[in-house]
Amino acid sequence: MWWPLLVACALQPAPNELSLTTESGSFDVTVAFAPDPPAVGEVTMTMTVVDVAGAPVDATVAVDPWMPEHSHGVADPPVVTSTEPGVYTATWVCPMAGEWQLTIGVDDDPAVADVAFY
């Protein structure tokens, strides 16, 4: 199941790194963006998932970019890969500036944040 992390490609830069806790409190998720700030074009997200003790989590992580204003996603959905225990990367192409919603799924436990970036 996927749960949302809301991110907007807008007029204010996002912090390079977000720190979130899932709704159940079971996982802490850190999301870093490159470039910093993210922009139209290729965006790489590095996501670190740890449990409450700080141990890396082996999870199913997925990312789904969506532009609510125009009711569309991206041509090539991001492929999430695990680069080391608890660390996941996803690269996608942001085709246009505006408000974007990223749904990040970490197993069945959501972490949600609203962020604006270029």
> In the prediction, which pLDDT does 2 show?
45
Residue 81 is predicted with a pLDDT of: 96
Domain that holds residue 90: 4-117
Strand partners, 79: 91
Looking at residue 8, what is its pLDDT?
42
- Any idea which residue has 């942001």 for tokens? 94
The first and second tokens of residue 1, run together, are: 């199941």
Yes or no: say if 13 and 88 are a contact pair by the CB < 8 Å rule. Answer: no
The CATH number of the domain where 66 resides is what?
2.60.40.10
Distance (Å, whole) CA 77 – CA 107 = 18
Strands 79-84 and 101-106: unpaired
Q: CA 38 to CA 57: how far, in whole Å?
A: 26
Give every residue of the chain whose pLDDT is below 70, as ranges: 1-16, 109-118
* Six-digit token string for 82: 């695990």
User: Domain count of the chain?
Assistant: 1
> 15: which DSSP letter?
P
